[in-house]
Chain A
Amino acid sequence: MILLKLISWPYVRQHLPRWLLTIAGIVLGVAVFVGIHTANQSVVYAFHQTVDRIAGSTQLQISAGETGFDETVLDHVQAVPEVRVAVPVIEAVVSTGVQGQGNLLILGVDMTGDRSLRDYDLESSGADDDIDDPLVFLAQPDSLMVTDTYARENHLGPGAKVPMSTMDGQKLFTIRGIMKSGGLSSAFGGNLAVMDVYAAQKVFGRGRKFDRIDLALKDGANLEDVRAKLKTLLGTGFQVQVPSARAQQFDSISRVYTLTANVTSVFALFIGMFIIYNTFQIAVTQRRTEIGILRALGATRRQIRTLFLGESVVAGLFGSILGLLAGIAIARGMTGYIASLLGEIFGIAQKADEISTNPALMTFAVVLGVITSVVAAVIPARSAARVDPVQALQKGKYQQLSAGENRARRIAALIIAILAAACLLFERYRIFFYVGDALAVLAALLLTPTFALLLARALRPLLRWMRPVEGTLAADSLLQAPRRTSGAVAALMLSLALVVALGGLTRASYDSIFGWLTVALNPDLFVSPSQSLTQRDFRFPESMGAQLRAIPGIGEVQLVRDARIEIQGKPTMFVAADIADLRRHATLPPVAGNTEEMFRLASQGKAVLASENFALLNGFKLGDVVDIPSPSGMLHLPIAGIVTDYSDEQGSLLVDRALYKRFWNDSTVNIFRIYLAPGAAEADVKRRILDTFGNQRRLFVLTNRDVRRYILRLTDQWFGITYVQIAVAVLVAVLGIVNTLTVSITDRRRELGVLQAVGGLRNQVRGTIWLEALAVGTVGLILGLALGALQLYYSLHISAEDMAGLRLRYEYPYPIALWLLPGILLVAFLSAIAPAETAVRGSLVEALEYE
C-alpha cells in the first residue's frame, strides 16, 4: 500500500492523460455491460412487475397460448372442488393515440368475482355511479376504470368520456372508477384500464372466448395437485401455470436479444483489456529505472509484481465505478427504446420508463472490471518483476524486457489454429463449434505481433517512398516496439473482425429478407386491425372475408390467423391459412420437400409446413412429427415441407385454416391478404375497403409497399444493436490507437527532438505521428478484415443454428470492407491529431535531454 502511495501515485499524477485513457477502456466496457444489462433487466423487471401486479392473489393461470379458448372452459374450472374462485380475463395492449402516452394495457375482467383476486382500491366514487356495486359497472358495457396516474396525466375525472377504437368502430367509454396508486395500479407503468370482460370480447373481436382464467384455491388445497388435476381435465392444449411462469415466456422470447446484448458488453470489456495490457506494458518499460532503484533498495520481485497488480486493481476499481455511473446513464436512455423494440418485434408490448438497478449486477460489473484490469496487467507485472536492476540503472541502456516476438508463441498459435480447424470436423456437437471459434480468435491474437511485424516490414518501403524520413521513422516505430503496438493492433483487429462478421451477417440477412419480401410476400394489400402487424390483440370476424370479396377490384382474399402457442415448451408462431389459396401464389421453392406434395398434404390437414428457422432452431427435419397442443387435444403432424419464411424471428408453423378452426374452435382472423383483380387500381380498392368498413370496424389497409417498409424498419431496429456493437468496437479501437500514439510520442521524444534539431519542421514531425497512426490503422485493418472473413463463417453458423435459424449464404461484405478502408484510416488519422500536437509542442531542449 505504501509503495502504491509513494511510487505509483506520483507516476499516475505525472501521466494523468494516459491513465485516463487506460481506464477509459474499462469505463467503456463496464458502461456498455451495465447499460445494456440494466436496460434489458428494467424491461424484463417491468414485465415481471406487471404480471405480478395484475395477478394479484391469483395462484394459477390457465391459457392456451395466444389463441384463447371457449367460455365453457370457465364452467369446467369453476366446477373443480378445490377452486375457490376462477375468473375470466382478456388482456390487450392498445395504442392510446395520445402524444407521449404510448400504449394502454386493457384488462377485461368479471367484476363480480374478480375483486376477490385483485384489489382495485378505488378513490371516492364518481358523480353518477357507485363503482362499489360491481353490477352497476357490469350493467353498463361502456364502463372503464383507469389508474389515478393515467387520469391525472390525461386530465380525466369520473364520468369523463374516452373514445376508443374497437372492432365495431369508434366507441365512447365512460370512466366510472379511478384506482389509487400502488398494487394493480402501478402495473404497466400505470397505463392501465379495466373494463368488463364481455365488453372486452366485443372491443377486441374475441367472439365468445377468453384469453385466460385466473384462479385461487380453497384453503388447504395443494397447488401442484390442483395444477395436475386441471391439466388432466383440460387436456394438453392448455397451460396451467403459476403467474410468474408467464413472465418467463417473455425471457424466452427475448432470449436472442439478451444474448446479443451480452456479447456486445463482454466484447467491449475484452477489447478494453488489450488497452490496459498495452498501457501497463509500456509503463513497465518506461519505469524500468524506478523499478531498478526499488530492486537495488531491496524490493523483492514479488513486491514489484504486487505493486503493478495493485495499480491494476486501483485502475480497474476506478474505471469500473465510473463505468457503472455511465452505464446507468446509458440505461436511462435505452430502456424505453428496448421496451418498444421488443414490443414491435415480438409483439410483447411493455411500458418501462424507469430503470431498475440490480445491486448484484452492479457488484458483478465492478468485479468484472477489476478482474479484466488485473488479468490485463498480469503479463506486464511479470515483466516488471523480471527487470534487472543493474541494466535498469545504467544510463542509456535499454533492457529488452521481451523480444515481442518469440518462437514458442508462434508454435503455440499454430497448434491452437490446428485444434480450431479440427473442431470444425465435429461441429455438429455445438460445444466443439464454439470452442473452435474461441481457439481461432486465440490463435489470431497470439499471431498478432508476428503478423503486425511482417506487415510493418512490408509497409516500410511504401512509407519510405511516400515520405523518406517521416515514413521510415513511422514504420520503424512499429518495428522497434512491437509490444507497444500489438495491443492496439489486436484491439483494432478484433473490433474490425466483429464489424465484418456482423456487417456480413446483417447484409446477408437483409438480402434474404428482401428476397423473401419480393418473391414470397406478394399480396397487393393487407387488412389488419392494428397498424403494427406483430400486434395480435384485435381480431376480425371471419364474415368480413366474404364482405371483402364482394368489393369490386378485389380478386382474392386470404384469411390468416396467427398466434403464439407453446410447442415443446417454447413460444412458437402458429399460422393458419387456406393452404390451397397460398399454393396459387407460392413462388418460392421449398428449402426441403416436394412443392406439390407438401401443399397437398398440408391443405388436407394431414401435415404442417415449417419455416426454415423453426426447423433449424428446434432441430426438426422433413418428415419429423411435431406435437402441437390444441384446446381439443394434441395434434401429431408431420412436417411435409420446410419453407423460407421470415415472418417470425423464432420460427413459425403453417397449418390449414380448416384444421385450425376445427381444433381451436376459433374462426377469427388477424390479417386479410388481398390480391387485386386484373386491372384494379390499388388506391381505388384501398379507398373502397375503407369506405365499406371505416365506420363499423377498426381496420388498417396496408399496401405491399407499406408492409415491406414496415418489415425492413423492424429489421433495421433489430440490427440497431449491431450498430451499437460496431460503434463500441470502433470507439475502443480509437482509444487503443490514441493510447499507443500517446505512449509512442513519449517513447520517441528524443527521436522527435533530434528530428526537429536537425531541421524537421513541425509539420514533418506531425507527419511521422500521422503516418505511424495510419500504419497502425493499416495493419489492424488488414488483420481485422482477414479475421473478419473467418468470424463471418462462425457468425453465420451461430445465427443459423443457435440464434435466428437463418441459413444465410457466405458472402464476404466487400462494400463494408471498402467503407472501412478510408473510414478506419480517417479514424486513425483523427486519433493521431492530439498526440501529434503534444509531440510538437513540447520543449525541444527537454526532449534532447530526455532519458
Chain B
Amino acid sequence: MIELASVSKVFLGKRTVTALENVDLSISRGEMVSIVGPSGSGKSTLLNLIGGLDTASSGEIEIDGRRLSGLSDDELTRLRRDKIGFIFQFFNLLPTLTCQENVSIPLHLRGWPKKKIEERANELLNLVGLSPRREHLPDELSGGERQRCAIARALSVYPPVLLADEPTGNLDTHTGAEILALIRDLHERLGSTVLIVTHDIHVAESCARLVALRDGRIEEDRAGRLKYGVPGVPIHDPAETH
C-alpha cells in the first residue's frame, strides 16, 4: 500500500538539515503502524512525504501503486483527495463552519451533489458519534469532539490511507484514549491503512507495528507490545505517566 525506497529529505538554508536519510519502508494494506522518535527525528517529515504535503529530495514513494515523484501540485492534491485522510494534532477545523460543514468540505471540493454530501456527512458524524453536534461550531465542542469531527472529515471518502499526526497530543489522557479507540475501531471496521505519528510510547505500542526513527533513519521496526481489545479502555495507566 505504501512503499518508500531510499527516501531522503534535505532542508536547504543557512544550515543544511537532513531530516530523512535513505529511508526504506513498506506498509501493507490494512496495517496500523505507529511512528515514534524524539523531536527532530523526522517522523512528521515522513508523514508529510507520504501524505504528499511535501516532496522528497531523493528516493521513491508509492501510494496504492502510484508514484508521487513527478506529480504536479494538482495531481498530488487529487491523490490526497482520493486516497489519504489527515488527522492533525490541533484538529485544523475551520472555525466558522459547523461540524457538518467541516466534514462536508472535501466532498464539496470533489463537486459531489448536495444531497449526496448531506447523506455522507450525516453517515460520518454518526460513525464518530457526533450526530447531535452536527450544527455546532468548533468553538462549541470539547477537544475530543473536535478531534472526532476532524476524523469524520478525514474519512469523508473512506480513503484507503489514514495519516494521523499526534492525534492525541492536544487532548487529556482520557479523551486521548477515546480517540485512539475510535481510530482503532474505524481501522478494524473500514480496513484502512493507518499511520500514527506519536510521542506517546503507549499509543505507539498499542499499534500492530511500531517504527522508531532517530536522526532521520529507521532505528527499529517491530510489532507493538500492547494489545487492547475493548474500545474506550485507557491505553495506559494514568498513574504511570506522573
Answer whether residue A105 sits at the interface, using C-beta atoms and an 8 A cutoff: no
Q: Is A754 an interface residue (CB 8 A)?
A: yes
Which A residues are CB-close (under 8 A) to B109?
469, 755, 758-761, 764
A283 CB–B CB distance under 8 Å: no
- B105 and A761 contact, CB distance less than 8 A: no
**Contact status of A469 and B105, CB under 8 A, knowing A845-B53, A848-B92:** yes
Whether A473 contacts B108 in the complex (CB less than 8 A), given A760-B77, A845-B48, comes out as no
* A297–B110 CA distance with the chains assembled, in angstroms: 49
A816-851: contact bitstring with B at CB < 8 Å (1 yes, 0 no)? 000000000000000000000000100111001000
Q: Are A758 and B53 in contact (CB under 8 A)?
A: no
* Residues on the A chain within 8 Å of B101, using CB: 472
Residues of A within 8 A of B105 (CB): 469, 755, 758, 760
Say whether B74 contacts A754, CB under 8 Å: no
Q: Do residues A844 and B106 form an inter-chain contact, with CB atoms below 8 A?
A: no
- The digit string for A747-761, where 1 denotes a CB below 8 A from any CB of B, is 000110111111111
Query: Within the assembled complex, what's the spacing in Å between the Cα atoms of A844 and B114?
Result: 28
**Closest chain A residue to B82, Cβ basis:** A759
Within 8 A of B (CB), among A729-778: 750-751, 753-764
Query: B64 interface residue, CB < 8 Å from A?
Result: no
Q: How far is the CA of A469 from the CA of B106 in the complex (A)?
A: 9
Beta-carbon contact of B54 and A758 below 8 Å = no
How many whole Å from A267's CB to the nearest CB in chain B?
Answer: 35
For the complex, give the distance between the alpha carbons of A472 and B98 in Å: 11
- Which residues of A are found within 8 Å of B38, using beta-carbon distances? none
C-alpha spacing A476/B154, complex, angstroms: 22
**Contact between B96 and A759 (Cβ–Cβ < 8 Å)?**
no
Query: Can you list, as one digit per residue, whether each of B89-112 has a CB less than 8 Å from chain A (1) or not (0)?
Result: 010101111000100111011100
Q: What 0/1 pattern do residues 132 to 174 of B give for CB contact below 8 A with A?
A: 0000000000000000000001101000000000000000000
Residues facing B in A475-508 (CB within 8 A) are 476, 479-480
The answer to whether A762 touches B92 (Cβ under 8 A) is no
Cross-chain contact A759 with B97 (CB below 8 angstroms): no
Q: Which residues in A have their C-beta under 8 angstroms from that of B94?
A: 473, 476, 751, 754
| A-chain residues with CB within 8 Å of residue B154 when the two chains form the complex | 758
Say yes or no: is A619 at the interface (Cβ < 8 Å to chain B). no
> Does B214 sit within 8 A of A, measured CB to CB?
no
Tell me the complex Cα distance, A750–B91, Å. Answer: 11
The reply to whether the CB of A298 lies closer than 8 angstroms to some CB of chain B is: no
Partner of B81, one of A469, A753, A759, A845: A759
- CB pair B54–A759 under 8 Å, yes or no, is no
A759-B92 in contact (CB<8A): no
- Of B48, B86, B90, B97, the residue contacting A758 (CB under 8 A) is B86
**A5 to B153, alpha carbons, bound, how many Å?**
45
A589 part of interface (Cβ distance < 8 Å): no
A93 to chain B, nearest CB (A): 67
Contact of B74 among A472, A762, A845 (CB under 8 A): A762
Residue of chain B at shortest CB distance from A840? B73
Provide the residues of chain B in CB contact with A468, threshold 8 Å. 104, 108, 114
Residue A396 CB within 8 A of the other chain: yes
In the assembled complex, B80 has its CB within 8 A of some CB on chain A: yes
- Are A476 and B97 in touch, CB under 8 angstroms? yes
Task: State the CA gap A45–B172 with chains docked (Å).
Answer: 77
Residues from chain A with a CB closer than 8 A to the CB of B92 are 750, 753-754, 757, 848
Do residues A759 and B77 form an inter-chain contact, with CB atoms below 8 A? Answer: yes
Closest residue of B by beta carbon distance from A750: B92
Q: Name which residue of chain A comes closest to B153, CB basis.
A: A758
Interface contact B48-A759, CB-CB below 8 Å: no
- Which residues from B are CB-within-8-Å of A759? 77-78, 80-81, 106, 109-110
A-side contacts of B78, CB under 8 Å = 759, 761
Interface CB pairs A-B, < 8 A, 28: A469-B108, A469-B109, A472-B97, A472-B101, A473-B94, A473-B96, A476-B94, A476-B97, A751-B94, A754-B94, A755-B105, A756-B77, A757-B51, A757-B80, A757-B86, A757-B92, A758-B80, A758-B86, A758-B153, A758-B154, A758-B156, A759-B77, A759-B81, A759-B109, A760-B105, A760-B109, A761-B109, A848-B53
Which A residues contact B (CB, under 8 angstroms)?
396, 468-469, 472-473, 476, 479-480, 750-751, 753-764, 840, 843-845, 848
Known pairs A754-B94, A759-B77 / 7 extra A-B pairs, C-beta < 8 Å: A472-B96, A476-B96, A757-B92, A760-B105, A761-B77, A762-B74, A762-B77
Q: Which 5 A-B pairs have the closest CB atoms?
A: A759-B81, A476-B96, A468-B108, A469-B108, A758-B106
